[in-house]
Structure 1
Amino acid sequence: MVAVKVDPVVERLAFWGIPISFGVMGLKMLAWWVTGSVALLSDGLESTVNVVAAFIAYFVIRYAQRPADQDHQFGHYKAEYLSAVVEGVLIVVAALLIIQEAWGALFEPRLPDAPVLGLAINGLAGVINAGWATILIRTGKSHRSPALAADGHHIMSDVVTSAGVFIGLILAVWTGYAILDPLLAIVVAVNILWQGYKVISNSLGGLMDRALEPDEEAAVREAITTHSEGALGVHDLKSRRAGAAAFIDFHLVVTAGMSVGEAHHICDRLEDAIKAIIPGATLAIHVEPEGERPHGQKVEIEGTVK
Structure 2
Amino acid sequence: MQVSAYLKLSVAVALVTIALKTGAWWWTGSVSLAADALESFVNLAGALFALAMVTIARRPADADHPFGHHKAEYFSSGFEGVLIIGAALGIAWAALQRLLAPQPVQGLDLGLALSLVSTLLNGSLAWAMLRNARVHRSMALEADARHLFTDVWTSIGVMLGLLGVWATGLLWLDPLIALLVAANILREGAHLVWRSSQGLMDEALDAATQAQIQQVLDGFAQPRLIRFDHVASRNAGRRRFVDLHMHMPAGWSLGRAAALRGTVEQALMDAVPGLRASIQLLPLDVEAEAVKDEQMTDESKQEQAR
The aligned residue for residue 275 of structure 1 is 269
Q: Which of 188, 193, 202 pairs up with 2:186?
A: 193
Counterpart contact for 2:265–2:278, Cα < 8 Å = no
The aligned residue for residue 303 of structure 1 is none
| Higher mean C-alpha displacement, 267-276 vs 46-55 | 267-276
Counterpart contact for 1:18–1:54, Cα < 8 Å = yes
Q: Which amino acid aligns with 2:228?
A: V
The aligned residue for residue 167 of structure 1 is 160
With normalisation by structure 2, the TM-score equals: 0.91
SS in 1 for 2:155: helix
Counterpart contact for 1:39–1:102, Cα < 8 Å = yes
Give the distance between the partners of 1:94 and 1:278, measured in 2 at CA: 38
Q: Give 1:271 shift.
A: 1.4
The aligned residue for residue 287 of structure 2 is 293
| Mapped pair 1:66 → 2:27 | no
Q: Which amino acid aligns with 1:99?
A: A
Give the distance between the partners of 2:126 and 2:287, measured in 1 at CA: 50
Q: Which amino acid aligns with 1:263?
A: A
Q: Which amino acid aligns with 2:264?
A: L
With normalisation by structure 1, the TM-score equals: 0.91
For structure 1, list consecutive stretches of 5 or more residues without a partner in the other structure. Answer: 1-7, 298-306
Q: Counterparts in 2 of 1:110-121, with a 5 A limit?
A: 110-121=103-114
The aligned residue for residue 197 of structure 2 is 204
The aligned residue for residue 37 of structure 1 is 30
The aligned residue for residue 86 of structure 1 is 79
SS in 2 for 1:291: coil
Give the distance between the partners of 1:9 and 1:267, measured in 2 at CA: 34
The aligned residue for residue 301 of structure 1 is none
Counterpart contact for 1:31–1:119, Cα < 8 Å = yes
Q: Which of 15, 19, 23 pairs up with 2:12?
A: 19
Q: Which amino acid aligns with 1:114?
A: G
SS in 2 for 1:282: strand
CA deviation map 1:90-137 (0-9, x unaligned): 000010111111111112213321101100110110111111111222
Q: Which of 236, 240, 245 pairs up with 2:239?
A: 245
Q: Give 1:291 shift.
A: 2.4
Counterpart contact for 2:18–2:40, Cα < 8 Å = yes
| Mapped pair 1:124 → 2:117 | yes
Give the distance between the partners of 2:142 and 2:262, measured in 1 at CA: 33
Give the distance between the partners of 2:57 and 2:287, measured in 1 at CA: 39
SS in 1 for 2:251: coil
| Mapped pair 1:259 → 2:259 | no
Q: Which amino acid aligns with 1:188?
A: V
Q: Which of 271, 274, 284 pairs up with 2:278?
A: 284
The aligned residue for residue 5 of structure 1 is none
Counterpart contact for 2:220–2:226, Cα < 8 Å = no
Counterpart contact for 2:245–2:281, Cα < 8 Å = yes
Q: Give 1:141 shift.
A: 2.1
Give the distance between the partners of 2:191 and 2:134, measured in 1 at CA: 16
Would you identify which runs of 4 or more consecutive aligned residues in structure 1 move more than 6 Å? none
The aligned residue for residue 216 of structure 2 is 223
The aligned residue for residue 300 of structure 1 is none
The aligned residue for residue 151 of structure 2 is 158
Q: Give 1:228 shift.
A: 4.5
Give the distance between the partners of 2:271 and 2:285, measured in 1 at CA: 32
For structure 2, list consecutive stretches of 5 or more residues without a partner in the other structure. Answer: 293-306
SS in 2 for 1:247: strand
Q: Which amino acid aligns with 1:255?
A: P
The aligned residue for residue 300 of structure 2 is none
Q: Give 1:83 shift.
A: 1.0
Give the distance between the partners of 1:159 and 1:67, measured in 2 at CA: 36
